[in-house]
Structure 1
């Protein structure tokens, strides 16, 4: 496996910062970034650790998190060393997971409103504002996902009505 070029290294580091900004560890973004551009497009834990200069234990932990999030997948290789690769559609999966958190937040706020008496209008107003925000986000989530699927299919020349799913 060839070493990263300076531009590839910068891309990997920038992806680390993107994921960090989104709340994940920088190493997660660096792994994801490298798997997006590496050749071959699948890597073992040892190869990832070597390419990124990170311990194999750290790579293993973060790769498991990426796998659980649906961003990468693990598959067996002939030498019994698992390999990892990008899962197409991973960003949409992450969005769906985040939106499930919105549903949980909405349910929690509804519970808070049921626990709060009418004699506390300031507190109710705060909860109602939060409820309205979460309701708005949830109502747009399904349409956003449908729009993304249409966009992706159109951008890549797939007919969304041909049943191929992209």
Structure 2
């Protein structure tokens, strides 16, 4: 459960870590820095569950901004959400990073690739049949090859990860 007293400030190395996570998400996903900071902070905070007020205080971000970010990080219909919120946004709810949640989240994202690959392959066949230009075919063929490769390789990668994780926990 979240602490009752005000948490200590982040150390310099913790601040650097949180900023690097924020920058990573900004550069790779276009995620606003404040949202990335919440992700980074929740990865290292102690205790693991933090109230909205504690997060706001630790990151120096207004509570209303924290509420918007947490609402985005805890979608109602996401069965593999990385974060878990206890309580309503109108309260001093608690946020927790779910342990071992990254693999299911990645698995969920990549589970959609085979469908997208099939769509790309169908589109490629249709464009070829219509005599589309080489440039159009090349663009779609590159995407179709990538999606096909990821679709075929990702299940094995995730399976190896799960076996590795299981053997470390044994």
Q: Which runs of 5 or more residues in structure 2 are unaligned?
A: 1-6
Structure 1 position 128, deviation (Å): 2.7
Distance 2:109 2:121 in 1: 19
Report the counterpart of residue 161 of structure 1 in structure 2: none
Q: Secondary structure of 1:84's match?
A: strand
Distance 2:154 2:46 in 1: 35
Report the counterpart of residue 70 of structure 1 in structure 2: 81
Distance 2:45 2:156 in 1: 34
Report the counterpart of residue 4 of structure 2 in structure 1: none
Taking structure 1 as reference, are residues 114 and 57 closer, same or farther at Cα in structure 2, changes over 3 Å only?
farther
Report the counterpart of residue 164 of structure 1 in structure 2: none
Q: Does 1:58 align with 2:60?
A: no
Distance 2:96 2:57 in 1: 16
Q: Which runs of 5 or more residues in structure 1 are unaligned?
A: 159-166
Taking structure 1 as reference, are residues 117 and 19 closer, same or farther at Cα in structure 2, changes over 3 Å only?
closer
Taking structure 1 as reference, are residues 75 and 15 closer, same or farther at Cα in structure 2, changes over 3 Å only?
same
Stretch of structure 1 that moved more, 29-38 or 96-105:
96-105
Taking structure 1 as reference, are residues 49 and 33 closer, same or farther at Cα in structure 2, changes over 3 Å only?
same
The TM-score normalised by the length of structure 2 is 0.77
In the alignment of these two chains, the number of paired residues is 155
Distance 2:40 2:113 in 1: 27
Q: Is the 8 A contact 2:53 2:63 kept in 1?
A: yes
1:39-79 CA-to-partner distances (Å, cap 9, x unmatched) read: 222111121111111122221222222223611111249xx
- Structure ranking higher on relative contact order (CA contacts 8 Å, 6+ apart): 2
Q: CA RMSD in A?
A: 2.3
Distance 1:62 1:93 in 2: 21
